[in-house]
Amino acid sequence: MMRYAEVMFCVAEASKLEWTTGTTAQEAYEAGVTASLEENGIAQAAIDAYLAGGGAFADDLDQIYLQQWIALFKQGMEAWSLYRRTGIPSTNYVAPGSFFPGHNSPPFRYPYPANEGTLNGTNSKPFSDQVTDNFWGKQMWYDTRTGVN
């Protein structure tokens, strides 16, 4: 189930891409930001100030993606999926001394369980042949970024 804030950010993205949505990207963006902040108990006066200041719509897809990522804070898997689809936020969050060193981006995929090879060997073999480790492996088909590992 998608929350209203997430839906409105999807509508803002669609509108920005010139799809027919029945609203403008700015209206959907502002509705998404407002819903996200209301969900977290932020007062209306603070929401209005944010939308008039630092959170004002700049007619930019990256801004829509960043606000959607923030709104997904309590839904880690969805936020991670949005990051993998958009590359936003563009900050590198890989920690020094990582358990899996040598990577310059967050993981590409959720790891398969250890028993996948035993229970689904035929289908998991092509994947396991491409894995450098269980979190990164090969980039997903839609991830067209270059220079990430």
Q: What is the pLDDT of residues 125-143, one digit of tens each?
A: 777 776 766 666 677 777 7
pLDDT band at 96 (very low <50, low <70, confident <90, very high): low
pLDDT band at 144 (very low <50, low <70, confident <90, very high): confident
pTM: 0.78
pLDDT band at 84 (very low <50, low <70, confident <90, very high): confident
Q: Which residue has the higher pLDDT, 96 or 77?
A: 77
Q: Which domains does the chain have, with CATH numbers?
A: 4-86 (1.20.120.840), 95-149 (no CATH)
Looking up tokens 């603070």, which residue turns up?
46
pLDDT at 111 over 90: no
Question: Which among 93, 101, 27 has a CA at the least distance from the CA of 59?
Answer: 27
Find the mean pLDDT for residues 81-86: 88
Cβ neighbors of 42 (< 8 A, separation 6 or more) are: none
> What does the pLDDT read at residue 134?
64
Q: Which residue has the higher pLDDT, 90 or 12?
A: 12
Q: Residue 104 and residue 139: Cα distance in Å, rounded? A: 13
pLDDT at 41 over 90: yes
Cα angle, residue 147 at apex, residues 95 and 16 outer, rounded to 5°: 95
